[in-house]
Amino acid sequence: MKKKNFTRRNFIATVSAGSVAAVGSNAISAFAGITVSPKANGKLAILGGNPVRKNKPWPEWPYVDEKMVEAVSKTTRSRIWCRIQSENGTVPTFEKEFAKMMDAKFSLGTGSGTQALSTCVEALGFGPGDEIITSPLTDPGTLSSILTSRVLPVLADIDRESFQIDPDDVERRINENTKAIMPVQIGGQPCNMDRIMAIAKKHNLKVIEDAAQAHLAVYKGKKLGTIGDLGCFSFQASKTIACGEGGAVIGNDEELMDKCFTVQNHGTNRKGRTVVIGPKYRMNEFEAAILLSQFAGVKERFETRNRNAMYLNSKLKGFPGLVPQKFYEGTESGSFYLYMTTYLKEHFNNTPRDKFLKALEAEGVSLSPYLPKGLHKEPWTDHILSLREYQKMYSPARLKSYREELSCPNCDRVIDDIAMIWASGPLLGSTEDMDDIINAIMKLHENRDQLNQI
């Protein structure tokens, strides 16, 4: 199949006009008035019927090729395994190449996305008594990076349709101790960054972008990670650029990026002087070798995921049972680490989400929940509020209001209703693969009366 280049124009066209990408496919679309595929009728696979998809593997993830295997062998044989052994080793080379790819002046490799975020919190000088506002719908690593510096993480609620942090709630939660906002670009798609940057400017706050999931995504002409003061990425095995565990900070301010280097290098600067408190978070040469060796195909894979995501969106356009993640104006592309939708059970015979997902799995298509709970509901809050150090650092009045203001009702709803694809591998599939996803969903919808027999 000849692949068209992915451009801002065709992203917006497919998001808004939907049907463009649908032409010529075999997927059913009961809601576009197109004939329902014969596959859609009949007994559900979970009840013994024929599955929509059988014995067809999804594209595997993480990505592996011979060049990557070679790169690891070469690094092994070179005996240069640690970044301090060579100024021209794979880590410094990765940093130059990643900065270039992300349109940033500088990049710094770390051992994980959590470490990248933690490096930024330390380098910006935040510590006990300070507060950073972030989202409850994120990986625990976001939270960990704030707690490690004994900063108080304040969780703002999210928007129910975009799943992104709600700028109005961010602004409501700012107080005299607030030092930064850490917006999470969830799924790999952009937050409302214009609003977040305006709020940060108004209140004199720093912005550390948690772009751990958002490699190469673009908002209003800028790559995610380059909009705030610093941006952080994860290369954990499931991510769209992966090396097992790994991370990076990007930024344009040389002095600040030097501080980041010093922090992650156990407090020791580029001149070898040990000057500040810092952990050892250095990326190793094997991680950088795996990353560098996959860079050649990264853009093409990114474009394929975007094209497939827009195709799925076009097929679900107007379908009330599964509503794709809302994009903010100015979204030019996403990373599509996650392809996220909201499941509305009333359109599936009031079937609870978990039963719906099981029935879908039996048809050969995997959608899943994201987190079991929003992070505001995890027990760490009791832990820190009972710690002597937090009781010393924050006033009793602040800890009381903190506990009282922990609720994030939109996040609770989203947690219960999300149905999403871990998309790094699956969204590299063919149009036929995407049709299988849609056909399985539509089969369940057409035969929703059977769902209460599960």
Contact residues toward ligand PLP (CB under 6 A) are: 112-114, 138-139, 141-142, 184, 210, 212-213, 234, 236, 247
Closest approach, Cβ 243 to ligand PLP, in A, equals: 10
Token pair in block for residue 422: 């871990």
Distance CA 343, CA 103 (A): 36
Return the number of the residue (213 or 331) whose C-beta is nearest ligand PLP: 213
Q: What is the DSSP string of 388-427?
A: HHHHHHS-HHHHHHHHHT---HHHHHHHHHEEEEE-TTGG
Return the number of the residue (37 or 114) whose C-beta is nearest ligand PLP: 114
Closest approach, Cβ 186 to ligand PLP, in A, equals: 7
Closest approach, Cβ 414 to ligand PLP, in A, equals: 15
Strands 131-134 and 152-155: parallel
Distance CA 159, CA 219 (A): 18
Return the number of the residue (334 or 364) whose C-beta is nearest ligand PLP: 334
Q: Which residue has the tokens 């009972």?
A: 386
Closest approach, Cβ 370 to ligand PLP, in A, equals: 10
Return the number of the residue (136 or 364) whose C-beta is nearest ligand PLP: 136
Return the number of the residue (12 or 371) whose C-beta is nearest ligand PLP: 371
Q: Which residue has the tokens 């500088």?
A: 106
Closest approach, Cβ 88 to ligand PLP, in A, equals: 26
Closest approach, Cβ 163 to ligand PLP, in A, equals: 11
Closest approach, Cβ 239 to ligand PLP, in A, equals: 7
Distance CA 429, CA 419 (A): 19
Distance CA 97, CA 239 (A): 18
Return the number of the residue (148 or 252) whose C-beta is nearest ligand PLP: 148
User: For 230, how many CA atoms within 13 A lie in the half-sphere containing its CB?
Assistant: 31
Q: Give the 3-state secondary structure of residue 323.
A: strand
Return the number of the residue (177 or 368) whose C-beta is nearest ligand PLP: 368
Return the number of the residue (336 or 356) whose C-beta is nearest ligand PLP: 336
Closest approach, Cβ 148 to ligand PLP, in A, equals: 12
Distance CA 149, CA 168 (A): 26
Q: Which residue is nearest to ligand PLP (CB)?
A: 113
Are 19 and 317 contacting, i.e. CB atoms less than 8 angstroms apart?
A: yes
Distance CA 191, CA 187 (A): 10
Return the number of the residue (75 or 112) whose C-beta is nearest ligand PLP: 112
Closest approach, Cβ 136 to ligand PLP, in A, equals: 12
Return the number of the residue (140 or 318) whose C-beta is nearest ligand PLP: 140
**Bridge-partner residues for 131, per DSSP?**
152, 178
> Positive or negative CA dihedral for 317, 303, 135, 63?
positive
The dihedral over CA atoms of 166, 172, 173, 174, expressed in degrees to the nearest 10, equals 110
Distance CA 237, CA 239 (A): 6
**Bridge-partner residues for 280, per DSSP?**
265
Closest approach, Cβ 380 to ligand PLP, in A, equals: 15
**Bridge-partner residues for 323, per DSSP?**
342
Which stretches of 265-387 are DSSP H helices? Answer: 285-316, 353-362, 380-386
Token pair in block for residue 135: 């989202």
